Structure 1
Amino acid sequence: MSSTMLCSLTAEKIVWSIRVRAQAVWKGINRRTNDFKGFNIVFIDEQDSRIHAFISEKLSDGFAEDLEEGRVYTLSNFKVHKYKGDENNRAVRNEMHIYFENQTKLKKIDTDVPLIKKYAFDPFGLQDIPKNEVVVTFFNELGKEFQIALKEHNEDKVPIIIASSKVNKYEATGEIYLTNYPATRFYINPNHYSKNISCHVTVKKVDDQCTWYDNWHIKCDKAVTIVDGRYRCTNCKRNLPYPDKRFRICTLCSDDSGVLQIIFPDEEIQRIIGKDVYDLENENREAGSEKRFPPILKAFENRDFIITLIISKEIILKESTVYTAKKLTDPVEMLGDRIPVHPLSPNIEELSMNTVTDPIVNEMSYISPQLLSHQTAPEEERTKYLLRWNLMTMKGMPN
């Protein structure tokens, strides 16, 4: 069974199969009774989509040994539910969530899958941030871990992502502050440069003088070059007898603001034309012109697409002007000029399947910490920080 992207899951059936990475795994504990309620997981896929999954206490023994943060799995035969809107427990902004059933199968993938990133985030927009600083209190072990991790970074201004924090309000002042919950994770100066944006463009030209596919090493997920007449992986330096072949067409696209060089990726080309590289090579052989540029690829010219672009570190640092597309969508599939996404819930609330009432904010990104105090309460330790938002760049931040 082929894998389905998380954004395509619906509540209409249970015959699903997805390939995902467990970004976060935590136990659900009832705060009043201290009873174990089950396991919570945040899964991410290769499109950086995220979804919350829950394994009830009665099924947890069958999956506990296999659950590991960072591990990639194939998950099948599960139920998908849509949030009703009155839940107190929301892990991500996806309107759907997954429930494990008796027939659910969770299979580890022993090799890493580079297409699925180590972590994905859904930061709130700048327009949602009322001010550029917020107090954060990390309790117990997370506070200790944060202090240790912070000491390893001597920079004055350190980018940090806090994921799945809990929002509270001081009764006396009404000031908002953040604290941790079992699902809370922090990432200090993460290697997470790539961002995605979408734009509506017209394909002005498909470069038929460039090679229209790459030789590929599946295990390393890297391109293969020819060295001394043999295929060699650019990553592991091994010679390969038969590399895979993946589409890679170079295009010149434009909108009202100008033109861009954009590379169209293999997965999207296959999805649109319904054929892979080997199919087009066979068509060329049958036509008696093995070296010709396939007409079906040239036919992308003059078509309009909503293109999701990867904004890589190289683009930001102006080391490259060639963009890579992650997703191509026909504007006919759009609603007006906007890409249909899961609607944001007006009440994004605390994580875990426990019964709690405090709302949460999913992610804060690129913030610079300044340690204020470390206090010890009678029954628990807490570490308090003042975090200043780095809204646009690491330059010009408030002192």
Structure 2
Amino acid sequence: MAARNSDNSDGGTMITYEIMAPFITCVNNLIKAITNSTIKVRCVRAYQGFPEDKDDKSLECVFHDSKGTRIQATFPNNLVQNFGNILREGGIFCIKNFFVRPNTLRNKASNHQFRLLMNVKTEMVEVNDHRFLREMFDFKSFSEVSQYENVDDSSFFDVIGVITGPGRVISQSKYRLIEIEISDENHNKLFCTIWESNVDLYLDQLKKIEGTIPIVIIQFCKRNLFRGEIRISTHFQASKVVINADVKEVKDFRMRIREDSRFVQQVSVIQGGQRVGGEYDDLQLKSLEDLSCLEEGSCWVFGKIDSVECHYGEWYFLACKTCVKKVREVDNKFNCSGCTKTHTYAVKRFKFVVNVVDHTSNASLLLWDREGSQLLGRNVTDFLGNGGQVAPKNSIPSLIEEILVGQKVFFKLQLKNHIEYYRSYPFTVNKVCNISKVVDKYTPKDF
């Protein structure tokens, strides 16, 4: 592959490329000692790299060769202007002259042992080849994702499924998120947290698919363990969320579920940007009195918040910024026993108890950060005071009580298999719903 300069009508220099029948190397045959190899690959995904570094404007790409083998490539800041406008997802490229480096990235978009680092000698040109393999997605099954063994939170993968719980936006001072529920063709379910810029993209697409079964692809998501449950989430710019995309994978999935009446009932109903339905369709509630005889599992209950109290003497805790487990402060450092990491700072997260009543009984429920933030509409730091005054950790701020007491809420509880536990400890809340339309619809009539 050779570059040739020619003058254009504007007096500038235009670069064209001539492919000189290069010897194509398969991705699995690349070696670190050779820097002038030529590969022929399809671009699967391109995104701005390493969001942890605000000064890093590099471009990360994932390619696959004619055998489907994937490899990640980095175009450093100084090369983005040259190659950024050429690269496009789905395009086929011949690339020559690059470094082959060990794949030691913290967030891996490919499981290949190597990654590619482009340099000033790199040459790249897009080519046409209708016979070249096209594998834009690397789907994992829900059963594979849900396995507890060897939870890998560093590698990206793709999932496809039907949106059965569209979620609602949770906005905080520093972030926005929406948690959705998706089901595979066998009705296995996964929760997915969509973060930041992907929230608006998701909502915009959701509005446009009224009257159809919403099939979503989460490309380049990550797996994480949250309160003993495997979930997935998007990761900065790397992830991509598409609903009812015009691709073969979605068409094939739709064909496989076309006779399933349960999915037909999931046809979207968008009302003012909020889909009413999914998990809240025909909501089956248990009374607080019922909790005394239920076995292990999960259930929804209604409760009016009567009071708020600390949990073991505190209404928030210091959490690890990586795995959100509680940390221990030692010499101004924060040690986490969950991921065994030490950090210079910790994140403040909600953890408090609400006492609720319904028409049958009362119960104590433990709320963690996600549910607390949703009901309060704020994060911990919003309640810590200003002007140098810090609210005590062992006393519920009066503003929290003002906001919560009197709220009518649906709580999704996770029950253990021995009721003796709850004589001393509160029930753990996994999810809350305070959407007024849903609450008004299902609130017990005699309450």
Relative to the length of structure 1, the TM-score reads 0.43
More helix per residue? 2
Relative to the length of structure 2, the TM-score reads 0.39
Q: Which has the higher contact order (CA 8 A, sep 6+)?
A: 1
- Larger radius of gyration between Structure 1 and Structure 2: 2
